[in-house]
Structure 1
Amino acid sequence: MEIVVRAAVMFAFLFVITRGLPRRTLADMAPFEMLLLVTVGDIVQQGITQEDFSVTGGMLATCTFAGCAALLTYATWRWRRVARIVDGAPLVIVRDGEPVVEALRVERLPLDEVLEAARQHGIGDLSTVRLAILEPNGRISFLRAD
Structure 2
Amino acid sequence: MDIVLRATVMFFLVFGLLRLLGKRELAEMTPFELVLLVVIGDLLQQGVTHNDFSLTGATLAISTFAFWSLVLGLVAMRSRRVEAMLDGEPAVLVRHGELLRDMLKRNRLTLNEFEAEMRLAGIARVAEVEWAILETNGKISFIEAKGAA
Range of TM-score over shorter length = over 0.9
Q: Letter of the aligned partner of 1:141 in structure 2? A: S
Unpaired runs of at least 5, structure 2 = none
Match for residue 101 of structure 2? 101
Residue 38 of structure 1: how far off its partner (Å): 0.5
Residue 25 of structure 1: how far off its partner (Å): 7.2
SS of structure 2 residue aligned to 1:20:
helix
TM-score, reference length from structure 2:
0.92
Residue 102 of structure 1: how far off its partner (Å): 1.3
**Deviations for 1:84-140, whole angstroms, at most 9, x for unmatched residues?**
011100001122323211111121111111111111111111111111100000000
**Deviations for 1:18-42, whole angstroms, at most 9, x for unmatched residues?**
1111213766211111111101111
Q: Distance in 1 between matches of 2:51 and 2:80?
A: 40
Q: CA RMSD in A?
A: 1.4
Q: For the Cα contact (< 8 Å) 2:27–2:139, is it kept in 1?
A: no
Q: For the Cα contact (< 8 Å) 1:25–1:139, is it kept in 2?
A: no
Aligned pairs for 1:1-146 (under 5 A) are: 1-24=1-24, 28-146=28-146
SS of structure 1 residue aligned to 2:143:
strand
Unpaired runs of at least 5, structure 1 = none
Identity %, equivalent residues: 47
Q: For the Cα contact (< 8 Å) 1:91–1:103, is it kept in 2?
A: yes
Q: Distance in 2 between matches of 1:20 and 1:39?
A: 18
Q: For the Cα contact (< 8 Å) 1:25–1:137, is it kept in 2?
A: no
TM-score, reference length from structure 1:
0.94
Give the total of aligned pairs: 146
Cα distance, 1:135–1:69 mapped onto 2, change above 3 Å: same
SS of structure 2 residue aligned to 1:4:
helix
Q: For the Cα contact (< 8 Å) 2:22–2:107, is it kept in 1?
A: yes
Q: Letter of the aligned partner of 1:126 in structure 2? A: V
Cα distance, 1:39–1:60 mapped onto 2, change above 3 Å: same
SS of structure 1 residue aligned to 2:130:
strand
